[in-house]
Amino acid sequence: MKNLLRISLITFSLSGTALMAEDEYEAAPIRYSETEPNDAARHLERLMAAGKVKIDRSNAWTVLHGVMKEFGVLPESQTMVFSKTSKQNDLIGPQTPRVVYFGDNAYLGYSVGGAIEVSTVDPKLGPIFYLLDPREEPSKPLHFQRDQSCLSCHGGPFTPEVPGVIVRSVYPGPEGHPIMSQGSTVVDTTTPFSDRWGGWYVTGKHGSALHRGNVTATEKNDQTVDIDFKKGANVSNLAKFFDITPYKRKTSDIVALMVLEHQTSVQNILTKANHTSMRAMHMQTSLQRELGEKVLSEPTGTARRIIDHCAEDVLDAIFFKDEAELPEGGIEGDPAFQTAFTKRAPQSTDGRSLKDFQLLNRLFKHRCSYMVYSLTFQHLTAPLKKTVLERLWAVLDGKDTSGSYSYLGESERAHIRRILAETLPGAPAEWKKAIASK
């Protein structure tokens, strides 16, 4: 993660001159906006048009849950956000929160009475943003309308400088408007517990530690705020904050929130690393052609250095580097989410999974992210993926001398080695041989 900003600030022209980056994902070789996505939304649209999938269109909730089912998005993943930080701000507030759901490669948001916000992941482009109107006449086909306006927030510094998905923590005013003088925090695995969930509802137990969720703030004349975080602590019933009747589920689970934060931040790092590596190889091959040199598929020089930096960023994210500790005594969330989340997780022969929860002082038992199974990781550009896998195994096999991941003990590394060797699609044959020999 430490290299993301440095890499995002510069790219290299054919002459080697550094240029300030601005919407680099719109340029070759990515061409984000003009490229037709290959993602779950487009696939579902084709299936519906062919009559192979039918969505119950009785009401917005049936449409929402029908689409969720097709995308593999868990109803139990529901979280609720009441800050006005979305496309449909006029429908969102402390009394009418927006619900958010997620699967490994898809995200959906719904504000009661509005359109369904959809983000599905294209292996190359990253997250694609759509609006789906459940209020359309049933005689008209459901249509995922690609919405490029989302990039004003989901394609800039918050993401970082790639199309991305984010969880922000703000200081919400009484109506849900973020108090701009207090700024905001883009939450990831490293964010302290005390800085999370401003503008979100949170259900679950977390001991004596406080977070920003469940409460609103009032701005004072001196630009400080009056807010009582204690009123939002250890909440099990949201009915005291708003009318929960319209909502099918009544929770905004603390564990689901932490998983969502981890997943979105890793997704963005993978997208960033992939885009940066693709550009580096594009620049290398273009320069080699211009100079009449042999075009190489392996990175050299500047491209090699960029891809090495990208690989380190990916490893930092995958290995939960600098993960913020959970509150003393851990956290307790909705068992329904935990059961659903782990149900289909790939397991090693000894029954272990990268989705196994720990929840005492960290989120997961095995500190190697399940996002290695994600579309973006599986389709990383070849030089980057090769570098990442080599470095990943060196760390797990105890051959890494950098000291960056010394917090991973031998027992934990051994468990992760077995899980990856036995479950990661396309895992190198030598990984399986190494496991078999031990």
Over residues 117-138, the mean pLDDT reads 94
CA trace torsion 193, 199, 203, 207 (10° rounding): 30
Round to whole Å and give the CA distance between 281 and 304. 9
Reported as type and span, the H/E element at residue 118 is: strand 116-122
| Matching residue, tokens 């001398």 | 401
- CA 75 to each of CA 97, 149, 249, 425: distance values in angstroms, whole numbers, following the listed order: 16, 27, 8, 27
| Matching residue, tokens 């030598």 | 430
**Beta strands 145-146 and 168-170, pairing class:** unpaired
Choose between 163 and 149: higher pLDDT.
Answer: 163
Residue 5 has pLDDT above 50, yes or no: no
> In the numeric block, which tokens belong to residue 141?
């086909």
The conformation of residue 357, written as its DSSP 8-state character, comes to: B
Round to whole Å and give the CA distance between 349 and 122. 31
* Local confidence band at 138 (pLDDT 50, 70, 90 cut-offs): confident
144: nearest Cα among 129, 154, 127: 129
Round to whole Å and give the CA distance between 341 and 336. 8
388: nearest Cα among 338, 335, 317: 317
Choose between 436 and 151: higher pLDDT.
Answer: 151
> In the numeric block, which tokens belong to residue 240?
């005291």
Choose between 324 and 141: higher pLDDT.
Answer: 324
* Local confidence band at 17 (pLDDT 50, 70, 90 cut-offs): very low
Cβ of 332: how many Cβ atoms within 10 Å? Answer: 15
**Percent of the chain residues past pLDDT 70, beyond the cut:** 95
Residue 13 has pLDDT above 50, yes or no: no
Round to whole Å and give the CA distance between 197 and 211. 7
> Terminal CA-to-CA distance of the chain, rounded, Å?
33
pLDDT tens profile 234-268: 999 999 999 999 998 999 999 999 999 999 999 99
- CA 156 to each of CA 22, 60, 183, 422: distance values in angstroms, whole numbers, following the listed order: 9, 31, 16, 37
Over residues 430-436, the mean pLDDT reads 88
Over residues 191-202, the mean pLDDT reads 98
Residue 434 has pLDDT above 90, yes or no: no
Over residues 152-167, the mean pLDDT reads 90
Angle at 323 between CA 318 and CA 329, to 5 degrees: 130
Round to whole Å and give the CA distance between 110 and 100. 7
- The number of CA neighbours under 13 Å toward the Cβ of 335 is 0
* Local confidence band at 221 (pLDDT 50, 70, 90 cut-offs): confident
In sequence order, which residues have a C-beta less than 8 Å from that of residue 420 and are 6 or more positions away? 368, 372, 392, 396, 427, 431
pLDDT for the residue numbered 18: 38
Helices 382-396 & 254-290 angle (0-180, nearest 10): 130
As a whole number of angstroms, the longest Cα–Cα distance in the chain is 71
Residue 2 has pLDDT above 60, yes or no: no
Over residues 301-313, the mean pLDDT reads 97
Residue 304 has pLDDT above 90, yes or no: yes
Over residues 28-37, the mean pLDDT reads 95
Average confidence score pLDDT of the chain: 92
> In the numeric block, which tokens belong to residue 431?
């990984």
pLDDT for the residue numbered 27: 94
Choose between 239 and 19: higher pLDDT.
Answer: 239
143: nearest Cα among 34, 20, 270, 57: 57
pLDDT for the residue numbered 22: 60
Residue type, 3: N
pTM of the prediction?
A: 0.93
pLDDT for the residue numbered 158: 86
DSSP string, 319-341: TTTTPPPPPTT--B--HHHHHHH
Phi, psi of 5 (to 5 degrees): -65, -45
Residue 311 has pLDDT above 90, yes or no: yes
* Local confidence band at 20 (pLDDT 50, 70, 90 cut-offs): very low
Lowest mean pLDDT among 20-24, 246-250, 304-308, 341-345: 20-24
pLDDT for the residue numbered 11: 34
pLDDT tens profile 374-405: 999 999 999 999 999 999 999 999 999 899 99
Say if residues 288 and 302 touch (Cβ distance below 8 Å). no
DSSP string, 375-407: HHHHT--HHHHHHHHHHHHHHHTT---S-TTTT
Round to whole Å and give the CA distance between 59 and 1. 43
Residue type, 377: F
Residue 373 has pLDDT above 90, yes or no: yes
Residue 282 has pLDDT above 70, yes or no: yes
